[in-house]
Structure 1
Amino acid sequence: MRRTVPLLVAATVLTGALTACQGDAGTTSSAAFDPATCQGGTLSVLNQGGITHLDPARLYTSGGGNIPSLLFRTLTTRNRQPGEAGTKPAPDLATDLGTPSDGAKTWTYKLRDDIFFEDGTPITAADVKYGIERSFAPELPGGAPYLRDWLVDAAGYQGPYKQPAGIKAIETPDAKTIVFKLRKAEGDFPFLATATQFAPVPKAKDKGVDYEKHPVSSGPYMVASYEQKKSLSLVRNPHWTAKSDPLRYACPDKIDVTSGLDAAVINQRLVTGAGQDANAVTTDAVVGPEQLAQLGTGSALDKRVARGEFPSTTYLAFNTKKKPFDDQQVREALSYAINRTSVVNALGGSAVAGPSTTFLPPQAALGYQPYDYFPAGDSGDPAKAKQLLPAGGLSIELAHENDDANGLGPKVAAAVQDAFKQAGITVTLTAIDSATYRDVTGKPATQPGLSLQSWGADWPSGGPFLIPIFDGRQIITAGGNFNLAQYDDPAVNAEIDAINALTDPAAAAKRWGALDAKIGKLALVVPLTHEKDVYLYGKNVKNAVPDGWRGQYDLARVSVK
């Protein structure tokens, strides 16, 4: 899951598995940059989407994501490099990538000695264990679901507030050692250990759902102030040291995040670079049409653009437990009716999105295999859709976010509504506040029949695309569910396990692609688009180089000095 996201299938799979495009960061990003002397100044982050949650249990990111990575360290992290090196994990709180035993069903980690919370308290294995256990609490939904399936006897665990005895499959024999007991072999555990679930939380400071008002930092910055969906101000954590954390450069003295801005306004401010905007970046406002028209002309703006490609799919999700979406023929009809060109345009055009007929984005490392079982052409096939629909057409509801910041808002919803209208399908649009959208759609009891969704890869393999969305063992009835089709096929579950056991990346990729193609025949989702990323940055910003995995510059490594 993106901007969020949400990790990888075994270290051997990642060697040579570059899926994100390294951008040309221009001369201002690469010239004379020295991480040892980059400290100083205030970095401004201008964003559309609000920071809806600041609790590591509720964040779905790999390597701590972007903004969360400034606050939270995890057992391992992304290597934060451009190109192929950036697709690999690296030690973070741990001294190494972990020691497997029992055929990779047991993973042991040793913590560093020089790691502290913002109050100077040493970080212990018990803090990491408690942080993970909190992520199981139904009061704190939204985190990556893998551990619920992977850990021995953890599927029914309801978090430390209801079950304070904790998870037996996580052992802490001493303050510096943490051991994970898995029910099956998982060679990719070092990549899962980058998720923010693995951020330490001091039990004595936990305030449940209110913890996110001031989470305790383990990273280079700590919270000075936070207003949900509006602003976040970060200052240096005095107990963090660069020696203990060489991958995060932590250049600015202060980082101010402003949310709720219009994308066009953000890009214009970055282009103009007046005052503090010269020290500004964005993590969610891709370049708009006006700025795209200026790129590639040799202008000064060409030197302030970063291009990347994060593996992400925007799609329509069916709840197959609700009528009429329990009928595969109806789902196929909607697949024929969709106009992907209008969706691409609603997202900003072909420079920032491309049409998709497969759930896996078109990247070889994911195992992409092209297929189009319900060909709709550029603008849909309403005639074919009508052949599959009941006489008199169909009336349905489509849930979407109430703003367009995440690409799941009114613009895309209206494009879908219009396409379906051409096929005699009446669509009523239902807007849900973006702050609660994942909570509502991710709980089977409140999940709508049809909703706009997006999914980003947790690691460069087909697994992180297909497992959370189609593995029946990932269905979570209490909330935080991503298998929105509520699809549970034992044969598919078994194939997922078999692929996860492979160590040959080419063989694994081929089978992930084949599995995607097999599931695609069921029309459990309607793939709409895949993501392309073009980001601007301010005139004073340096080292704004997209990493090899997220396709986005890393706030932990940029400088404004």
Structure 2
Amino acid sequence: MSQPSFISRRVATTAAVSLVLVAGLAACGPQDDGGGKSGSASGASGKPAKGGTLTVLNSKPQDDFDPARLYTSGGGNVPSLVFRTLTTRNRENGAAGSKVVPDLATDLGRPSKNATVWTYTLKEGLKYEDGTAITSADIKYGIERSFAPELSGGAPYLRDWLIGGADYQGPYKDKKGLASIEVPDARTIVFHLNKPEGDFPYLATQTQTSPVPRAEDKGAKYENHPISSGPYKVVKNEGDGERLVLERNTFWSPATDEERKAYPDRIDVRSGLDSAVINQRLSASRGADAAAVTTDTNLGPAELAKVTGDKKLAARVGTGHFGYTNYIAFNPKVKPFDDPKVRQAISYAVDRTSVVNAAGGSSLAEPATTFLPEQASFGHSAYDAFPAGKAGDPAKAKELLKEAGHPKGLTITLTHNNDKNFETSPEIATAIQEALKKAGITVKLQGLESNAYSDKIYNVKTEPGFFLTGWGADWPSGGPFLAPIFDGRQIVRSGYNFNSFQLDEPSVNKEVDEINKLTDLDAAAKRWGALDKKIGEQAVTVPLFHPVYKRLYGEAVKNVVISDWTGVLDISQAAVK
């Protein structure tokens, strides 16, 4: 998102993560183990204290600042300062931050035996920025308005999961609301799903479950001044999110919110900036920029080399990971990719060392042999179905090609994005071209501009046989990572399709359903890992690498916390005093 957001957008695809500039769901993290809910400082020395202004310097504007329209609670964590949700991510460093915890709700939800009914109870004492009480009816209304066509852009899961969701058009057209969301009293909300969904506690972290008081709803204009349920309220929103200023919500009570520290008095988000300018300002760390961070701008290879040579700057670089995989996709409806031996040959021929170097080197990319990212929360289980070492195995590839009827090799076309800032860049395509040449495979490169590239690879009618792409999950679980790519029932014949292989294997579909019934998230993770291995052995993709992200923060920033959930600096934990 998970746009992986992003990017399963589904987050990771339609707004793919940039290797140099990096999209909003990319990662960044501290290189120490301080921070988190313990309140210990990382980054600048000294105990964090309340007060001051934290500046956020970003490339992408914080637009569509409406809980209905935000795809996830991403956006560099800025939305979660204003919009509280039923559940939220654990605000701790690394793997501990990939756990889901209660937010507005008292727990992670109480499922029925088959996980088709989920019941939540709200905490006592929850209030909006105007002092009025937050009720379960407000959460129901907030979800319902996310179905309105004029407020599109949010995640599709509630539409897919709620009974009657597929045909519902929102409260502006249907005053009756969704019968599948019940509010028996002011603190209870019950969801009725059309199929088992053990991941519902993760879904409940998305901004669509943020409360919206019906009387304050101004439709598409609500984003200008959404009513805050979090520690900060919007006092300025200019240029469609290019300048967003937040100040304290005095009715927010930390007694009801164990996750957000809310140290600064003010958050000043300035977006639409050039990435080089952002990194230069953070590097210089002068004036207000000493108390600045970025949540969407990565250090590129050249910048990283310069920073690494400066001990003071290097101490202000965080390393982090977001669940994202860059891979080669096949369309078996295009020959010769219908032949598993050809796909296996390509899997053996790929030189992941050269691919990693093309992606910026080992500091910015880690070789991947599994589709699931290496974080435990996804259910990662280490395997290599086609072990070829670090530099590929062209001899094994030639052997398989001979068995496939191509003793003299073959010629194929690789489609990629012409934008050098994307994981599908010409440099990576060239690295694959050179590696496959050693196995007797001639690769012609078809580079397309970003829009044309996306239109081509995500349409089943025009999808090429061999192309570069990537995927990131909307939350740290195997479900939103594997199901959209390999569940045959998610093949989209008209519109954006992400199951590029168009895999529709009954045993895979059945296992997805069986895992979705599990409400034990650890048990589900193990099953997702096993399913990943089963699918991987069919050579339906070639995992290439998982991106690594390096980001600067100002020298006055304390309590730097970055988790494996979002991979970005968590503003709710940062302090500037």
Q: Normalised by the size of structure 2, how large is the TM-score?
A: 0.77
Per the alignment, residue 4 of structure 1 pairs with 5
Post-superposition CA distance 1:238-284 (Å, at most 9, x none) = 4652434342223331322323523x543333222123321221223
Cα displacement (A) at 1:135 = 4.5
For the Cα contact (< 8 Å) 1:45–1:281, is it kept in 2? Answer: yes
Matched with 1:356 is: 368
1:426 aligns with 2:461: no
Q: Which residue of 1 aligns with 2:23?
A: none
Structure-1 separation of matches of 2:188 and 2:94: 33
Report whether the alignment pairs 1:370 with 2:380: no
**Structure 1 pair 147–446 and aligned structure 2 pair: CA distance change class (3 A):** farther
Q: Is the 8 A contact 2:29 2:569 kept in 1?
A: no
Who is 1:310 aligned against?
322
1:454 aligns with 2:470: yes
2:272 to 251, 259, 268: 259
The equivalent residue for 1:345 is: 357
Letter in 2 for 1:462: G
Give 1:92 shift.
Answer: 1.9
**Structure 2 residue 501 is matched with structure 1 residue 524:** no
**CA pair 131-251 structure 1, distance change in 2 beyond 3 A:** same
- Contact in 2 for aligned 1:28/1:303 (Cα 8 Å): no
Change (3 A) 1:218 1:232: farther
Matched position secondary structure for 1:344: helix
Name the structure 2 match of 1:276.
Answer: 288
For 1:146 and 1:413, the matched residues in 2 are separated by 33
How many residues end up aligned between the 2 structures? 541
Instruction: Report % sequence identity.
Output: 50
Corresponding residue of 2:100: 89
CA gap 1:74/1:505 in 2 versus in 1, 3 angstroms: closer
Structure 1 101/350 Cα, relative in aligned 2: closer, same or farther at 3 Å? same
Identify the residue that residue 29 of structure 1 maps to in structure 2.
43
Aligned alpha-carbon RMSD (Å): 4.3
Indicate how the Cα distance of structure 1 residues 251 and 161 shifts in structure 2: closer, same or farther if over 3 A, else same.
same
The answer to whether the aligner puts 1:79 opposite 2:95 as a matched pair is: no
Deviation at 1:21, TM superposition (A): 8.2
Q: Please tell me whether the aligned partners of residues 340 and 378 of structure 1 are also in contact (alpha carbons under 8 angstroms).
A: yes
- 8 Å CA contact 1:76–1:94 kept in 2: the answer is yes
SS at match of 2:77: coil
For 1:103 and 1:45, how far apart are their aligned partners in 2? 44
| CA positional deviation for 1:74 | 1.0
Q: Choose 509-518 or 212-221, whichever is displaced more.
A: 212-221
User: Does 1:109 find its partner at 2:117?
Assistant: no
Give secondary structure in 1 for the equivalent of 2:445.
strand
Which residue number corresponds to residue 131 of structure 1?
Answer: 142
Who is 1:553 aligned against? 569
Q: Give the Å deviation of 1:537.
A: 0.9
Counterpart CA distance in 1 for 2:225 and 2:420 is 26
Distance 1:407 1:395 in 2: 18
**Aligned match of 2:511:** 495
Q: Deviations over 1:17-55 (max 9, x none)?
A: xx9987317866374434xx42222x2323344556544
Q: Distance in 2 between matches of 1:259 and 1:551?
A: 21
Shift of 1:359: 0.3
Distance 1:54 1:504, change over 3 A: closer
Tell me what 1:182 maps to: 193
Deviations 1:161-195 (A, max 9, x none): 67665433222234432111134444442222112
Q: Measured at CA, do residues 217 and 279 of structure 1 come closer, stay the same or move farther in structure 2, by a change above 3 Å?
A: same
Residue 209 to residue 428, structure 1, CA distance change in 2 (3 Å): farther
Structure 2: 5+ residue stretches without partners: 9-26, 35-40
Alignment partners' CA distance in 1, 2:522 and 2:102: 26
| Cα distance, 1:408–1:57 mapped onto 2, change above 3 Å | farther
Equivalent residue of 1:56, what SS? coil
Structure 1's 222 and 486: CA in aligned 2 closer, same or farther, altered over 3 A?
A: farther
Shift of 1:77: 0.8
Question: CA offset at residue 314 of structure 1?
Answer: 1.7
Q: Work out the CA distance in 2 between the residues paired with 1:413 and 1:127.
A: 49
Correspondence for 1:68: 79
Task: Tell me which residue corresponds to 2:184.
Answer: 173
Counterpart residue type for residue 381 of structure 2:
Y
How far apart, CA to CA, are the structure 2 residues paired with 1:484 and 1:158? 30
Distance 2:182 2:353 in 1: 52
Give the match's secondary structure for 1:393.
strand
CA contact (8 A) 1:308 1:546 kept: yes
Structure 1 position 398 matched with structure 2 position 416: yes
C-alpha spacing 1:54/1:508, structure 2 compared with 1 (3 Å)? same
Question: Deviations 1:398-438 (Å, cap 9, x if unpaired)?
Answer: 357x462x6455654565566677732322212225xx987
Task: Judge conservation of contact 1:25–1:544 (CA < 8 Å) in 2.
Answer: no
**What residue in structure 1 maps to residue 11 of structure 2?**
none
Task: Tell me which amino acid in the other structure corresponds to 2:57.
Answer: L
